[in-house]
Structure 1
């Protein structure tokens, strides 16, 4: 059985009529920027995420950049970031002129380790940016307590974990202001780039609405140097349709992960995902680790199993961050995770037969 790494078909085919109707609704409205669809989606996503405000923006990176801007983070400031994450987390810090300060993860969960944060704090630290990597919630209770103790802002990178929770509260609801992405492959994906910012702070929400729209509340009158980063009206309409299915898709992802846990159990030198106490995992990705990654990936490819590597090069080893002078070995946990991680197929609509096929192929792997 061939198992692609990702298939949109099981999600999109049942919604085709509703998505087409949403497109026609926008087409016929003759209002294509910051209209009623964006307004309604912001209200609906805020309710889903159990926050007071959601502000739609163009993409997930812009969400993080604008969040930091609204908090006044900029040149001379430091922001705690995970040493292993997609580079967008670091880019957001750099783009506001601040300095990313990497902190190593918990090797078991790949998420930022709260116990390591305190050692990285300096007089210049302004914020902590936890990333709920692969869909698992970070240990937010500890992170928020540390932030409160040191008077720091928290900006959650919630791009991979809509609907995950820690100690019963949803990711994207802990921080002072938080960013998420609706890139098509995310758990809640648009049909193009899209993103949002969540917050419970009325003042920050108002600042963000101004920042995303050229720094303007009234057309042609600009209060601050802003951005053109507005959630597209059409994408908002499509996201409204898909948001209704997100809880069901999350349950499917968790069931698929449970099947993987069963069908991959006991395979030598294959480490399966670990979920921290108090955390839930919505499995944007199902990531295993093995010292034989290249050989296993080649074996699975030959068996018709699609895989990807998230992410092969940690940010500190990227050419973009060479000026930080962080040589190989600077963050050994991140480097080890990057060298051994392998993402297996994970998409709503997968059956146990799909998962069994992946497990059977993995069990037939030999060096």
Structure 2
């Protein structure tokens, strides 16, 4: 068999007619910036996230960047976050001249370890940015308690966790703001780049809308230096087609997770994802840990199974962040994870035969190596 890590063609075939009709509607309207499609999607994402407001963005990265700018995070400020995440999380902080302050992750969930946050707070700290990695939310009670005690913003990087819950609370609804990505590989993926910010703070909401349009309000009058962070109507139209299917797709991912876990039970060499009882994960990725990760990855490739390493090098050790002064073994849990993690295919359209094929090859490698 040939099983890709993600096969978007299967999803497209199911929605082809709806997507074509939605995109053609935008073309016929000739409204390519803003408009009803964007506004409708913003309202629906706000409702789904149990948030008062939502502001579209040109990408998940720009959702984070706009949020930081709208909260006036600037040169000399510090934002505490995790090094075990996609580059955007810390890259946006650094782009504003602020300093990413990395703290280690929890071994079991890969999410930021709240115990490590408080010692990292300084007089320059302005915000904490937890990442809800692989579809499961971080320990938000502890994060929020620390933030409230120290008068800090909390920006939820929920790029991989749209509609996930923590103790019944939706991703993005707990902190000052939450940021989503609609990159095509996400559970709710567009037909290009896109993102969204949700918040309950009306003042922040108004600022986000201004900042995404070059800081202009009214037109051609600029109180702030913003950016071009707008979500376009073609993306909004496609996402509106996909949104009603999101819960079904996430449920299929959870079913696939359970199936994999069952197949891997009895093999202590394969560490399967830990999902906390009080969390509902949307399983954006199914990530195992194995000691001989690179050999397993190559073995699976030779047998037609696509995999990916999220992430092979933690951000604190990336060359571009060398100026921050981190060294090997400074954040050992993140560094160990980078050597052991491997994402397996888990998209909703996978059949039991496909899941079995992947799992049996993982087990076969472990048994014979």
TM-score computed with the length of structure 1 as normaliser: 0.98
Distance of 2:268 and 2:181 partners within structure 1: 36
Q: What residue is the counterpart of 1:215 in the other structure? A: 215
Q: What residue is the counterpart of 1:279 in the other structure? A: 279
Deviations 1:290-344 (CA, angstroms, capped at 9, x unpaired): 1100111111112211111111011111111111121211111111000110000
1:195 aligns with 2:211: no
Distance of 2:237 and 2:221 partners within structure 1: 28
Q: Which runs of 5+ in 1 are unaligned?
A: none
The 5 A counterparts of 1:319-330 are: 319-330=319-330
1:351 aligns with 2:345: no
Q: What residue is the counterpart of 2:13 in the other structure? A: 13
Distance of 1:117 and 1:276 partners within structure 2: 20
Q: What residue is the counterpart of 2:331 in the other structure? A: 331
Q: What residue is the counterpart of 2:27 in the other structure? A: 27
Distance of 2:268 and 2:297 partners within structure 1: 15
Deviations 1:189-233 (CA, angstroms, capped at 9, x unpaired): 001011111101111001000000011132222221110110011
Task: Tell me if structure 1 keeps the 8 A contact 2:130–2:156.
Answer: yes
Task: Tell me if structure 2 keeps the 8 A contact 1:308–1:342.
Answer: yes
Q: What residue is the counterpart of 1:264 in the other structure? A: 264
Q: What residue is the counterpart of 1:305 in the other structure? A: 305
Query: Which segment is superposed worse, 213-222 or 177-186?
Result: 213-222
Task: Tell me if structure 1 keeps the 8 A contact 2:6–2:346.
Answer: yes
1:160 Cα shift?
0.2
Distance of 2:198 and 2:84 partners within structure 1: 23
1:267 Cα shift?
2.1
The 5 A counterparts of 1:62-101 are: 62-101=62-101
Deviations 1:212-260 (CA, angstroms, capped at 9, x unpaired): 0011132222221110110011101111111111011011110011111
Aligned to 2:100, the other structure's residue is in SS state strand
How many pairs does the alignment contain? 367
1:268 Cα shift?
4.1
Distance of 1:37 and 1:217 partners within structure 2: 22
Aligned to 1:221, the other structure's residue is in SS state coil
1:83 Cα shift?
2.3
Task: Tell me if structure 2 keeps the 8 A contact 1:158–1:172.
Answer: yes
1:279 Cα shift?
1.6
Deviations 1:28-64 (CA, angstroms, capped at 9, x unpaired): 1111101111111111111111111110011111111
Aligned to 2:63, the other structure's residue is in SS state helix
Distance of 2:194 and 2:95 partners within structure 1: 19
Task: Tell me if structure 2 keeps the 8 A contact 1:139–1:279.
Answer: no
1:285 Cα shift?
0.2
TM-score computed with the length of structure 2 as normaliser: 0.97
Distance of 2:3 and 2:224 partners within structure 1: 50
Task: Tell me if structure 1 keeps the 8 A contact 2:171–2:178.
Answer: no
**Aligned-pair RMSD on alpha carbons?**
1.1
Task: Tell me if structure 1 keeps the 8 A contact 2:66–2:229.
Answer: no
Q: What residue is the counterpart of 1:39 in the other structure? A: 39
Task: Tell me if structure 2 keeps the 8 A contact 1:256–1:351.
Answer: no
Aligned to 1:122, the other structure's residue is in SS state coil
Q: What residue is the counterpart of 1:239 in the other structure? A: 239
Aligned to 2:131, the other structure's residue is in SS state coil
Deviations 1:136-163 (CA, angstroms, capped at 9, x unpaired): 1111111111111111110000100001
Task: Tell me if structure 1 keeps the 8 A contact 2:79–2:98.
Answer: yes
The 5 A counterparts of 1:126-275 are: 126-275=126-275
Q: What residue is the counterpart of 2:364 in the other structure? A: 364
Distance of 1:354 and 1:347 partners within structure 2: 11
